[in-house]
């Protein structure tokens, strides 16, 4: 398994960010499509990408792709692929599937046929009629899009947004991957103040601290491929040592998270401690109306309530008006706000300099970007 193809799946709108992260890890043969980034790699890339990708959903090992409009074509083409090169004799290999605009629209039937084809291929290698499947897990996915079949094996296990620090969740959690994307899109510099005045359980401040300290987001969790005999443990050890070597623990960050709810702030402090960044973030109970700062330049990045639930629209709209009043006083700061509310700019009191469509789960949102002036230090614009 020296030369392989990997697919980093992505939430719609984040594909370019994921591609950039992949390239920064040294993998140049990259193809960007809706919802995924495909790239040529090696076994070590399975370890590195799972540890380092901040904005991807998961990393899949691509087994092959082909066109199939009949179940016989699906069976025969699947059987041709080198499954025994990846799957050991005792592998557990459940099959999941999805089909969009394809003649083979019955997902359960597609899953059953792929399972049968893999078993038949395994029989040829291991010369047995039955497999216990009591070993490491290799979750296979069959994805059909306009009759094009892509077969992959999931290397991640739980989605990459599960960093390992958020054991508990508030009522409306923001995925860690989206929080990281918001920070990256804001072009925040770790020497600048970052504030989230509606921080909830602390996801944005924590992700900012991980970025600021150059901590690999997956360093505190495990992955499905760690149990695979086809990915040597020495490669995982190499990737972990690389990640630890570049962590900048001694960097001082100025990250602030405030909220009116002491209960969620307690949760935020707990999460920050689990992430190992509690010393880098100052959490404080503070109403939005009282937010102020002595810092001349800084970033506000936040995910305020959207008013999606019945009866909460008016509360959200009043919050947006208050944000407009409070943030306007910070006229040298940049602020970045995500919401699904269609009238946000009117309520906030001014149009955004830029906006970008993002998805928070299944909710279509706009990421409103208000850029302040660049800092001037010693007479030089920085």
How many other CB atoms are found less than 10 A from the CB of residue 340? 16
Task: Give the DSSP letter string of 309-336.
Answer: STT-HHHHHHHHHHHHHHHHT-TTSEEE
Query: What is the set of domains in the chain, with CATH numbers?
Result: 4-154 (3.30.2130.30), 176-218+248-381 (3.40.50.150)
Residue 378: pLDDT band by 50, 70, 90 thresholds? low
Separation between Cα atoms, residue 8 and residue 13, nearest integer Å: 14
Q: What is the pLDDT of residues 172-206, one digit of tens each?
A: 579 999 999 999 999 999 999 999 999 999 999 99
**Alpha carbon distance 334, 152 (integer Å):** 41
Among all chains, which residue has been given the structure tokens 């770790």? 190
- At 219, list the tokens: 């360093």
Burial class (CB in 10 A: 0-12, 13-18, 19+), 259: buried
Is the model's pLDDT at 309 over the cut of 80? no
Q: Transcribe 350-363 into DSSP letters.
A: S--SEEEEEEETTE
Q: How confident is the model at residue 377, as a pLDDT?
A: 66
8 Å CB contact between 133 and 90: yes
How far from the centroid of its chain's Cα atoms is residue 245's Cα?
Answer: 23
DSSP at 155: S
Residues 61-80: tens digit of each pLDDT: 999 999 999 999 999 999 99
CB 181 within 8 A of CB 55: yes
Confidence at residue 374, expressed as pLDDT on a 0 to 100 scale: 84
Q: What are the angstrom distances between the C-alpha of 296 and each of 17, 284, 301, 376?
A: 29, 20, 16, 10
Distance, in Å, from the CA atom of 321 to the CA atom of 327, rounded to the nearest integer, reads 10
Helix (H, G, I), strand (E, B) or coil at 275: helix
Q: What is the mean pLDDT of residues 326-353?
A: 95
For residue 50, the cross-strand partners are: none
Percent of the chain exceeding pLDDT 70 equals: 96
Q: What confidence tens digit (pLDDT) does each residue in 123-156 have?
A: 999 999 999 999 999 999 999 999 999 999 999 9
What is d(CA 37, CA 9) in angstroms, rounded to the nearest whole number?
6
pLDDT of 321 strictly over 70: yes
- Average pLDDT score, the chain: 94
Q: Is the pLDDT of residue 382 over 70?
A: no
Q: Is the confidence at residue 171, as pLDDT, over 60? A: no
Q: How far does CA 334 lie from the centroid of its chain?
A: 24
Q: Is the pLDDT of residue 279 over 90?
A: yes
The single residue listed with the structure tokens 């990393």 is 59
167: confidence class by pLDDT, cuts 50, 70, 90: confident
The strand pairing partners of 145, in sequence order, are 100, 148
8 Å CB contact between 351 and 310: no
pLDDT-based confidence at 246, cuts 50/70/90? very high
pLDDT at 170 over 60: no
Token pair for 20:
């950039």
């Amino acid at each position: 398994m020296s030369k392989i193809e990997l697919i980093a799946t992505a939430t719609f709108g984040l594909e370019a960010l994921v591609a950039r992260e992949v390239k920064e890890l040294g993998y140049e043969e990259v193809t960007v499509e809706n919802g995924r980034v495909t790239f040529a790699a090696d076994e070590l890339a399975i370890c590195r990408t799972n540890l380092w990708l901040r904005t991807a959903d998961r990393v899949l090992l691509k087994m092959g792709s082909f066109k199939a409009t009949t179940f016989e074509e699906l069976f025969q083409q699947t059987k041709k692929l080198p499954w025994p090169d990846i799957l050991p004799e005792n592998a557990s290999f459940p099959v999941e599937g999805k089909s969009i605009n394809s003649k083979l629209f019955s997902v359960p039937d597609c899953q059953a046929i792929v399972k049968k084809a893999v078993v038949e291929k395994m029989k040829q290698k291991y010369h047995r009629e039955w497999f216990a499947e009591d070993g490491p897990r290799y979750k296979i996915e069959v994805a059909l899009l306009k009759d094009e079949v892509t077969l992959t094996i999931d290397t991640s296990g739980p989605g990459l947004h599960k960093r390992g620090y958020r054991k508990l969740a508030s009522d409306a959690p923001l995925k860690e991957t989206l929080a990281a994307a918001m920070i990256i899109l804001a072009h925040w510099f770790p020497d600048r103040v970052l504030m989230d005045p509606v921080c909830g359980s602390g996801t944005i401040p924590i992700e900012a601290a991980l970025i600021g300290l150059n901590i690999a987001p997956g360093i505190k969790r495990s992955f499905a491929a760690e149990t695979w005999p086809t990915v040597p443990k020495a490669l995982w050890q190499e990737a972990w040592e690389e990640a630890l070597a570049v962590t900048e623990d001694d960097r001082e960050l100025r990250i602030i998270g405030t909220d009116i709810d002491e209960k969620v702030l307690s949760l935020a402090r707990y999460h920050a401690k689990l992430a190992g960044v509690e010393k880098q973030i100052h959490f404080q109970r503070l109403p939005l109306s009282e937010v102020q700062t002595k810092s001349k330049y800084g970033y506000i990045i936040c995910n305020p309530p959207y008013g999606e639930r019945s009866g909460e629209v008016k509360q959200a709209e009043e919050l947006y008006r208050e944000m407009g009043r409070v943030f306007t006083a910070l006229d040298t700061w940049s602020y970045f706000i995500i919401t699904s509310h269609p009238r946000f700019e009117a309520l906030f009191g001014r149009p955004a300099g830029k906006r970008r469509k993002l998805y928070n789960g299944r909710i279509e949102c706009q990421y409103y970007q208000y850029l302040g002036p660049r800092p001037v230090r010693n007479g030089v614009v920085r």
